[in-house]
């Protein structure tokens, strides 16, 4: 019989930025929640579940583990927010039970995943949806509008001062300073970067001519590791601009982005709306729910610079205990209670019923191959 305890501890002391997820909660004798958020009876479990990846999921993971601890207090969930690329690498190498990633597996990575997971394949669940905020540090400018081409021009280095004519055209009547612009990008391979560059490549293709990439494709600007480093770099430099999960923006300025004829601020509702109106990537497995986001929407109800962060794992697991822990934890994550816990901690957009039901089919399929 399995027992349960959910506390989150650091996965490796080697990472100074490892997330210590203190998930202190009262023991729940009665069970867990199903995908609709209803309480169900569940065998109490014990063991350790190891995950690594997206630093954008950091705040949400705190909410998830804290909530899960009240249901399964004898399960330990370790999560190292090393970044999406590092998380996928650790998962593919067999070092962790699941990865958190702000980008779906590439075709090459899917081949490697097949080698690890076998013929049953992988699951990719879009469990965390959040807007990527364009954050800036420009004292005296509380509201800022940026069209797609202007934003791309800033990050290519073509636009170098805040009073440039292109920025002025987006911000009629605003007194813009002549401060030099310092664009900040991620130094590490990042799913946030891949989503941001995917937006630029689709919405401003005449200015941004590079393809979407998790590694920043251009020279110049300032580089920072992980989400926390990005935010710190923008905070430290007047005139700086960067991109980060909206939940991590703090007191920095957040730009509105041109969508159709309007400028739209990032919000959980607008982020969820653009995902709902996007399509799954074709040609993947039965439980691979990777989305191709519609970055060129013209609806003012949608915000196109959105991060869909996935939980990635094997459908078939070698160990029955690990399969049970994975099903239990991810079942909580996608539940109404779990999504609300993530939203409260991170400001993310709770999954719609459609996305929750979709994810539940994959969680139900998780099994032990032994």
Q: What is the pLDDT of residues 210-237, one digit of tens each?
A: 999 999 999 999 999 988 999 999 999 9
User: Residue 370, annotated ligand binder?
Assistant: no
In CATH, what is the architecture of 132-269? 3-Layer(aba) Sandwich (3.40)
For residue 236, give every residue at least 6 positions away whose Cβ sits within 8 Å of its Cβ, in sequence order, or none: none
Distance CA 92, CA 79 (A): 16
Give the H or E element holding residue 257.
strand 256-259
User: Residue 119, annotated ligand binder?
Assistant: no
The residue written with tokens 């005296």 in the block is 140
Q: What is the pLDDT of residues 279-331, one digit of tens each?
A: 999 999 999 999 999 999 999 999 999 989 999 999 999 999 999 999 999 99
- 34 vs 31, 91, 189, 329, CA distance in Å? 10, 26, 35, 11
Which of 238-242, 291-295, 297-301, 344-348 bottoms out in mean pLDDT, i.e. has the lowest? 344-348
User: Residue 84, annotated ligand binder?
Assistant: yes
Give the H or E element holding residue 250.
none
User: Residue 56, annotated ligand binder?
Assistant: yes
User: Residue 147, annotated ligand binder?
Assistant: no
- Compute the average pLDDT of residues 154-179: 98
Q: What is the pLDDT of residues 104-163, one digit of tens each?
A: 999 999 999 999 999 999 999 999 998 999 999 999 999 999 999 999 999 999 999 999
- Compute the average pLDDT of residues 23-29: 36
The CATH number assigned to the domain with range 48-129+276-290+307-368 reads 3.40.190.10
Mean per-residue pLDDT over the chain, rounded:
88
For residue 254, give every residue at least 6 positions away whose Cβ sits within 8 Å of its Cβ, in sequence order, or none: 133, 134, 135, 136, 246, 265, 266
User: Residue 191, annotated ligand binder?
Assistant: yes
**pLDDT computed for residue 41 by the predictor:** 55
Distance CA 173, CA 206 (A): 27
Closest CA to 133 of 270, 301, 262: 270
191-229 in b/e burial notation, b at 16+ Cβ within 10 A? bbbbbbbbbbbbbbeebbeeebbbebeeeebbebbbbeb
Q: Give the whole-number percent of the chain exceeding pLDDT 70.
A: 88
Q: Reduced to 3 states, what is the DSSP secondary structure of residue 306?
A: strand
Question: Residue ranges per domain, the chain?
Answer: 48-129+276-290+307-368, 132-269
User: Residue 55, annotated ligand binder?
Assistant: yes
User: Residue 232, annotated ligand binder?
Assistant: no
Domains 48-129+276-290+307-368 and 132-269 share a fold: yes
Distance CA 53, CA 193 (A): 14
């Amino acid at each position: 019989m399995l027992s349960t305890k959910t506390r989150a501890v650091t996965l490796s002391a080697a990472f100074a930025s490892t997330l210590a997820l203190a998930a202190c909660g009262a023991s729940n004798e009665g069970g867990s929640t199903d995908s609709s958020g209803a309480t169900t009876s569940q065998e109490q479990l014990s063991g350790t579940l190891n995950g690594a990846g997206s630093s954008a999921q950091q705040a949400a993971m705190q909410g998830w583990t804290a909530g899960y601890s009240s249901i399964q207090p004898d399960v330990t969930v370790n999560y190292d927010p090393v970044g999406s690329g590092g998380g996928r690498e650790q998962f593919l190498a067999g070092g962790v039970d699941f990865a958190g990633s702000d980008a779906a597996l590439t075709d090459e990575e899917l081949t490697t995943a097949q080698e690890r997971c076998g013929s049953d394949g992988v699951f990719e669940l879009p469990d965390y949806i959040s807007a990527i905020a364009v954050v800036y540090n420009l004292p005296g400018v509380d509201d800022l509008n940026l069209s797609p081409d202007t934003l791309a021009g800033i990050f290519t280095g073509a636009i170098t001062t805040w009073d440039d004519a292109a920025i002025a055209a987006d911000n009629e009547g605003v007194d813009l300073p002549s401060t030099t612009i310092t664009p900040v990008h991620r130094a590490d391979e990042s799913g946030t970067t891949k989503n941001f560059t995917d937006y630029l490549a689709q919405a401003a293709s005449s200015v941004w001519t590079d393809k979407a990439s998790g590694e920043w494709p251009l020279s110049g600007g300032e580089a920072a590791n992980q989400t926390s480093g990005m935010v710190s770099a923008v905070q430290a430099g007047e005139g700086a601009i960067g991109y980060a999960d909206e939940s991590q923006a703090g007191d920095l300025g957040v730009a509105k982005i041109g969508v159709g004829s309007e400028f739209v601020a990032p919000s959980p509702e607008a982020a969820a709306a653009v995902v709902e109106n996007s399509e799954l990537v074709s040609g993947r497995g039965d439980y691979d729910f990777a989305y191709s986001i519609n970055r060129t929407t013209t609806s003012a109800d949608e915000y196109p610079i959105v991060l869909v962060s996935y939980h990635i794992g094997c459908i078939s697991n070698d160990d029955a205990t690990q399969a049970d822990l994975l099903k239990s934890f991810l079942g909580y994550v996608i539940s109404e209670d779990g999504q609300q816990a993530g939203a409260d901690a991170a400001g993310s957009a709770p999954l719609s019923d459609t996305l929750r039901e979709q994810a539940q089919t994959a969680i139900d399929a998780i099994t032990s191959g032994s």
